[in-house]
Amino acid sequence: MANVFAFAESRGGALRRVAFETVSAARALADASGGGEVHALLAGAPGIASLAPDLGKYGADVVIVVEHPGLANANAESLAATAADRIRAGAYRAAIVSASAQGRDLAPRVAAKLSVSMAADVISFELAGDALVVRHPAYAGKVIATLRLTGSPAIMTLRPGARAAVEAPREARVESAQPAADPAASKVVVKEMIAGGGAKLDIGDAPVIVSGGRGLKSAENFRLVEDLAAAFGNAAVGATRAVTDDGWRPHSDQIGQTGRQVSPDLYVACGISGAIQHIAGMRNSRTIVAINKDKEAPIFKVADYGIVGDVIEILPALTAAVKEARAKG
């Protein structure tokens, strides 16, 4: 029986989906150890405490709430100090943080503060005696590494989307705490937060991704990709490295080895030949559709369904057909 710590990531006063994934993973680990408690750390501007019950829904027994005006934006230095303090005091068997951009910023600092080793970007884990055995995609997703992490607490970051959050509802007890380091004293200060286009879905959260490559021939033609994404209603737009290098799309849209790794239910690759660089970012999608004029293009080797032809002619037809299919329900 062991207690497990989870970091509940929030942004702009709202919990992120990865917060539920980490709490749910911590629940699974605590249960596997014979039924310990899950303690989640929730930090933010005053008012964030109102989100604590949402964490109880996914299996948190205790929510440690840290409210401070200086935590309205992510503040890794202050958060790392607080997390390390709580983990030290709580004698947890493990601590789980999402492998999101903020989680990857935070967890290594906590590990260094506690002088413990950590496992990163984990897709599965199990307790094995005094060790935690984890699996982690490496070599651009072409190899799965199994690693043995000893020492306590075992810190790991969990790949977003690798484990769905499972409900395990309970009344979470709320415990208020102070930041262990003054957020105002942090050496790195967030000067500005730039929201990613309002209501648009992020490529990490969208169930459908419509992605474009050089086959679109121009930045203007990305409108066709956006139209198809809009027709799906629950889709985000992605791009290849060639396209972001050319400035047709921002770097943050890049899917691939040096960009984001995604695993949506449906991935529609439009005018993408399928370089390793790109495949590394999307090969774990559940269903892959490829549209490309070259029938020998490597993208067809990973695609479930392919159409050979000019993407600029095919996309409007596909957009219309998707609209029609959705209208019929």
Partner 1 sequence: MKIAVCIKRVPDMETRFKIAASGSAVDETGLKYDMSDFDGYAVETALQLNEKQGPGETVVISLGPDVVQEQLRKALSMGAERAVQLKADRVPADGLAIARALAQELKSGGYDLIFFGRQAVDSANATVGPMVAEMLGLPCATGVSTLEIANGRGTARRDLEGAAEIVEFALPAVVTIDEGMPRARYPSLKGIMAAKKKPLEVKPAQLGEEKLILEKMELPPERAAGRIVGEGPAAVPELVRLLHTEAKVL
Residues 6 or more apart in contact with residue 139 via CB below 8 angstroms: none
Residue (54 or 253) nearer to partner 1, CB: 253
Pick the stretch among 21-29, 39-47, 163-171, 244-252 that binds partner 1 (CB under 8 A): 244-252
**Residue 220: strand, helix, or coil:** coil
Contact between 265 and partner 1 by CB under 8 A: the answer reads: yes
Q: Tokens standing for 32?
A: 């596997």
Please count the residues of this chain forming the interface with partner 1, following the rule CB under 8 A.
101
Pairing of strands 94-98, 154-158: parallel
The candidate with the shortest Cα–Cα distance to 125, out of 59, 29, 35, 40, is 29
Residue (176 or 287) nearer to partner 1, CB: 287
Total residue length of the chain:
329
Q: Scan residues 28-47 and list those touching partner 1 (CB under 8 A).
A: none
Report the interhelical angle of 311-328 vs 222-232 (nearest 10°): 10
Partnered with residue 238 across adjacent β-strands are 211
The candidate with the shortest Cα–Cα distance to 314, out of 251, 271, 250, is 271
Residue (104 or 170) nearer to partner 1, CB: 104
Residue (140 or 166) nearer to partner 1, CB: 140
Tell which one of 149, 225, 229, 269 touches partner 1 (CB under 8 A): 149
Pick the stretch among 46-54, 87-95, 135-143, 220-228 that binds partner 1 (CB under 8 A): 135-143
Q: Scan residues 48-87 and list those touching partner 1 (CB under 8 A).
A: 73-74, 76-77, 80
d(CA 4, CA 40): 9
d(CA 139, CA 123): 15
Smallest separation, CB 316 to partner 1 (Å):
8
Report the interhelical angle of 101-114 vs 76-90 (nearest 10°): 50
Tell which one of 53, 70, 151, 298 touches partner 1 (CB under 8 A): 151
Tell which one of 176, 185, 196, 294 touches partner 1 (CB under 8 A): 196
Residue with tokens 């490295």: 241
Tell which one of 35, 115, 220, 327 touches partner 1 (CB under 8 A): 115
Residue with tokens 């929030």: 10
Q: Scan residues 284-303 and list those touching partner 1 (CB under 8 A).
A: 286-289, 295, 300-303
Tell which one of 62, 66, 165, 201 touches partner 1 (CB under 8 A): 201
Residue (47 or 197) nearer to partner 1, CB: 197
Pick the stretch among 58-66, 112-120, 163-171, 215-223 that binds partner 1 (CB under 8 A): 112-120
